[in-house]
Amino acid sequence: MENFELIKQGAEARIFKGLYLGKPTLIKQRFEKKYRYPDLDEHLTKERIKAESRAIVRCKNVGIETPALYLIDLKKRCLYMEYFEHSITAKEFIMEASNEFIEKLSYDIGATLAKMHENNIIHGDLTTSNILIVNQFGEKCFFKDYSKLKLVLIDFGLAHIDNSAEDKGVDLYVLERAIISIHDNPEKIFGLILKAYRKNTNGHNNVIAKLDEVRLRGRKRLVVG
């Protein structure tokens, strides 16, 4: 990992960038969490590296944009993957973009999630921080021409494969809550996401019904303090 530069400490991992086999590469290192009991930490870390790699490969197979996977190093707790030179998170994008672009993005998020769920991939940690907006032409420009942008899903550490409406519903619920807690017009953004989701899935009725159920579950659990 020489010549790699630390660019971010996320909640789960340290992110480095550099060159690997001549390609701009991002290393995601799930470093040791000192607060966790060592055996538990190692077990969880390995599970998540495996989950992430599997989900990325599966997404690639069905045509969902994710970073390309270059190397898995379980010993050093690292994943090597494609680095996007010019990208911002959907969270940053929504904070600055025009209403028109936010609407387009919301729609695209919905359509992408639909495709993901149609293939029984559950992301497990959907937030607007885990969706990247990448300029396909390598330009450092995100707010002028929407057609030049593509949407890339990242952070599959909690991903798994499941065909149940329950898990898909929870997946959407997690995203809804993340949007509510951070964005100014959550109803509109999530409304559009769901609209696109409905349009692009077959079994959506079950999933949306589950989502409604999970939302209620959310309110019920408030009991004693």
List contacts with another protein (CB under 8 A): 9-12, 33-37, 39-40, 43-44, 124-127, 129, 158, 170, 174-175, 177-178, 180-182, 184, 214, 217-225
Please give the helix or strand (H or E) that residue 60 lies within, else none. Answer: helix 38-62
User: Minimal distance in Å, beta carbon 80 to another protein?
Assistant: 22
Task: Centre a 10 Å sphere on the Cβ of residue 156 and count the other Cβ atoms it contains.
Answer: 26
Q: Phi and psi (nearest 5°) for 90?
A: -60, -30
User: Minimal distance in Å, beta carbon 46 to another protein?
Assistant: 13
C-beta closer to another protein: residue 20 or 77: 77
Evaluate whether 89 touches 133 at the Cβ level (below 8 Å).
yes
User: Minimal distance in Å, beta carbon 145 to another protein?
Assistant: 29
Please list the active-site residues.
Answer: 125
Q: Are strands 23-29 and 78-82 parallel, antiparallel or unpaired?
A: antiparallel
C-beta closer to another protein: residue 110 or 124: 124
User: Minimal distance in Å, beta carbon 136 to another protein?
Assistant: 27
Q: Phi and psi (nearest 5°) for 130?
A: -100, 15
Distance CA 177, CA 73 (A): 33
C-beta closer to another protein: residue 3 or 37: 37
C-beta closer to another protein: residue 9 or 164: 9
